[in-house]
Amino acid sequence: MAKLAAHLSFFLLLLPLLSGETLLMVNGQKTWCTAKPSSDQAVLLANINYACSQVDCQIIQKPCPCFYPNNLINHASIAMNLYYQSKGRNAWNCDFAGSGLIVLTDPSYANCLYA
C-alpha cells in the first residue's frame, strides 16, 4: 500500500506538467528552471539571447555574483530561471525547445542566488 501511495503522489507531482496547468509550487515547494546538461552549446546561447531579451540578465555579467563559473550552461540556467520566475513559473516557461528542466532543489551557489 505504501508503494502505491508513493507512486500515486509522484504521478500527482507530474500531473500539472502533463495537463499544462500552472506549476507554481510542487507540494508547497518553490521550483526553478535550469538548462539540461545535455543541451547543445548553440541551444544554450539561443536560450540566453532569448531570455535576456525579455528580462534583465545583468546578474550574469562580470563582476556580478553569477558570472562565475563563466560557461554557457551556467549562464543559460540563470537566464532561463530569471525568465521562468518572471513569467509565473509555468511549465511552458521552462521548455526552451525541450532544453529546460524544472528542479525542486534550489540551484543557488556561493553568492549567486537564484530568484
Domain range annotation of the chain: 22-103
91, 23 contact by CB (below 8 A): yes
pTM of the model: 0.77
Q: Are 23 and 14 in contact (CB under 8 A)?
A: no
Q: How far apart are CA 17 and CA 69, in angstroms?
A: 30
Task: State the DSSP code for 100.
Answer: E
**pLDDT of 115:** 81
Grid cell of 65 as nine digits = 555574483
**Are residues 100 and 94 in contact, defined by beta-carbon separation less than 8 angstroms?**
yes
Nearest-angstrom CA–CA distance, 70 and 60: 9
pLDDT at 44: 98
Q: Give residues with Cβ within 8 angstroms of 2, minimum separation 6.
A: none
pLDDT at residue 75, rounded to an integer: 98
Q: Can you say whether the dihedral through the CA atoms of 92, 94, 100, 101 is positive or negative?
A: negative
Per-residue confidence in pLDDT tens, the chain, 115 aa: 444 333 333 333 443 444 444 444 555 679 999 999 999 999 999 999 999 999 999 999 999 999 999 999 999 999 999 999 999 999 999 999 999 999 999 999 999 999 8
The closest of 103, 113, 95, 110 to 30, measured between CA atoms, is: 103
